[in-house]
Amino acid sequence: MKNITLKHLRYACAVADQGHFGRAADMQSVSQPALSMQVKDLEERLGQPLFERGPRMVRPTVFGEDFLQRARAILQSVDDLGDLAQISKGGMIRRLRLGIIPTVAPYLLPRLIADLTELYPGLDLQVRESVTPRLLAELAEGQLDAAIVALPVSEPTLTEVPLMTEDFVLIRPQADDSKPVPDAGQLRQMRLLLLEEGHCFRDQALAFCDTRSARPREWLDGSALTTLVQMVGAGIGVTLIPDMAVVIEANSAPVSVARFARPVPSRTIGMIWRRSTPMAAQLLQISDQVRTTALTLHGAMPVDAA
């Protein structure tokens, strides 16, 4: 086994990430035959296949899983070397691959992109919106430089920087506007609309309601906060949304916004990155700007004001 190149590794990892040779080729901006030939050449050099090839899906073999995990670590180290070289010359990072959770992205990104572009001219900002588990995996694999998520994530390999806190509010039909605001116990007895599995906001809402005594048939799932609010407007149930979403979402349907008595459910939003990254000092500077932008949002509060 010799002459394995970084191109071999990047193409193989792209196939694993996409589960498809065509999509991997598009991601790498090459033709599918060229990418397939490189992956096949790599497998021949290794003496065994990296992938099981099916008619609609490509998946790593047992050997491939182990090999690709090590390949990603190598590629991450190579990328870190490039970042280190740029930073050691006193320059700002030129590319930022930033992940962000769906319950923050629509409300923070428009202002954040404008602010970062103004503050760092020439910055290549690449944004990836996904749920927290996926963002953590992509951070670990070196596919992202940093992510904006709900804290804590409690990963010892990551640095966590709190940015802001915000309360959760209750969204209910307009006809309920004059009714008393239910407490957590009363909320458990209502038809509560929640984000689907994988969203950390779902888990936080369930924790507030203390669902150990809830009836599972009463919980209805949606894929986005907008969907949940529209369902409430149609009279299907009630839901919780973060304060930053109120201005946009509550004006999109015939709903009422109610605020809970203390203790008010809330969350902390923060920025995370790998402790090993050579970009740590620059990411800390960027997090200061993200905090400044975040605190301009409706309902956002400094962390120490929680």
Judged against a pLDDT cut of 90, whether residue 210 lies above it is answered with: no
What's the pLDDT score for residue 86? 66
> Looking at the predicted structure, is the pLDDT value of residue 201 above 70?
yes
Give me the residues paired with residue 256 across strands. Answer: 172
The residue with greater pLDDT, 216 or 137, is 137
Helices 6-18, 62-88: inter-axial angle, 10-degree rounding: 120
Question: Given a cut of 90, is residue 245 above it in pLDDT?
Answer: yes
Average pLDDT score over residue span 105-123: 92
Confidence of residue 279 (pLDDT cuts 50, 70, 90): confident
- According to DSSP, the residues that pair with 221 across neighbouring strands are 194
For the ranges 148-152, 249-253, 278-282, which has the lowest average pLDDT? Answer: 278-282
pLDDT at residue number 32: 92
β-pair partners for 158: 274
High-pLDDT (> 90) share of the chain, %: 53
pLDDT average, residue stretch 105-114: 95
As a whole number, mean pLDDT of residues 192-221 equals 73
Q: Supply the DSSP symbol for 303.
A: G
Q: Which residues of 71-89 are buried (b: 16+ CB within 10 A; e: fewer)?
A: bbeebbeebbeebeebbee
* pLDDT at residue 219, rounded to an integer: 56
**Mean pLDDT over all residues of the chain?**
87
Torsion of CA 287, 288, 292, 294, to 10 degrees: 20
Q: How confident is the model at residue 196 (pLDDT cuts 50, 70, 90)?
A: confident
Q: What domains appear along the chain, each with residue ranges and CATH number?
A: 6-85 (1.10.10.10), 93-164+267-305 (3.40.190.10), 166-265 (3.40.190.10)
* Helix (H), strand (E) at residue 74: helix 62-88
Beta carbons within 8 Å of 126's beta carbon, 6+ residues apart? 95, 96, 97, 98
pTM for the predicted model, two decimal places: 0.75
pLDDT at 87 over 80: no
Specify the range with the lowest mean pLDDT, choosing from 77-91, 231-245, 261-275, 278-292. 77-91
Percent above pLDDT 70 for the chain: 92
Which one has a higher pLDDT value, 92 or 146?
146
Do the beta carbons of residue 224 and residue 130 sit within 8 Å? Answer: no
Q: Residue 306 — very low, low, confident or very high, per pLDDT cuts 50/70/90?
A: very low
DSSP H stretches of helix in 240-279? 246-249
Torsions phi, psi of 263, nearest 5? -80, 130
Write the DSSP symbol of residue 176: G
**DSSP tag of 301:** B
Place 213 in a pLDDT band, splitting at 50, 70 and 90.
very low
Residue 152 pLDDT: 93
The confidence score (pLDDT) of residue 157 equals 92
Residue 276's pLDDT is 85
